[in-house]
Amino acid sequence: MKNLIKEFTKGIIKENPTFVLALGLCPTLAVSVSVTNAIGMGIAATFVLLGSSLIISLIRDFIPEKIRIPCYIVIIATFVTIAEMCMKAYSPQLDRSLGIYVPLIVVNCIVLGRAEAFACKNNLARSFFDGLGMGVGFTLALILISAIREFLGSGQILGQALVKGFEPIFVFGMPSGALLVIGLLLGLFNLLKGKKEGTG
């Protein structure tokens, strides 16, 4: 059981998909303009990760190796379609603001990467916790980046203005600001990791 918990927690810090594995940076850049978008995308991606990791792990012995990628895509696309339909039904505004990045979860490197690197080689329980951990790690990273970008770029978080009289710094609402924030956070992450491992 302890091993299973480890599969979950590794996705949060040690192998965080955004800051350590640097996967799925394109939707991260595009979606992290506001915290609501980030939470929505994170939940959708976690659902897709969980579902696809589970199914792929279950039928991993039946998928021929030479055509494994198209098979994974079909499975992942099924779950993304479910997620997209639910989003369109229950929160159409979120679907509108996420736009094309909801269907693009199909080719999100985190989902395909975990399928290829983990789910096709491990049993059901471990794949479940791995998918869950990666999804939660991705969501947390998205929330962190979008909190910074939304606050600096428009003076609000979750639509609530925080500091009175704050002049928004428009560059952070743009893709260039997104790259800046992600780059600096990556550097910070590496610095903290280095300090912890004693290599400074």
Out of 71, 180, 185, 186, name the contact with another protein by CB under 8 A.
180
CA angle 126, 119, 54 (to 5 degrees): 75
Cα-flanking dihedrals φ and ψ of residue 190, to 5°? -65, -40
User: How far is residue 92's CA from residue 87's CA, in Å, rounded to a whole number?
Assistant: 6
User: How far is residue 39's CA from residue 56's CA, in Å, rounded to a whole number?
Assistant: 25
Out of 39, 171, 185, 186, name the contact with another protein by CB under 8 A.
171
Cβ atoms within 10 Å of 135's Cβ, excluding its own: 25
169 counts as binding another protein under rule CB under 8 A: yes
Mark the segment that binds another protein (CB under 8 A) among 4-12, 88-96, 157-165, 170-178: 170-178
Q: How far is the CB of 55 from another protein (least distance, A)?
A: 44
Mark the segment that binds another protein (CB under 8 A) among 16-24, 78-86, 108-116, 166-174: 166-174
Q: Residue 157 pairs with which residues in a beta bridge?
A: 160
Q: How far is the CB of 118 from another protein (least distance, A)?
A: 34
User: How far is residue 68's CA from residue 112's CA, in Å, rounded to a whole number?
Assistant: 11
Out of 85, 161, 174, 192, name the contact with another protein by CB under 8 A.
174
Query: Which residues make up the interface to another protein (CB under 8 A)?
Result: 167, 169-172, 174, 176-177, 180
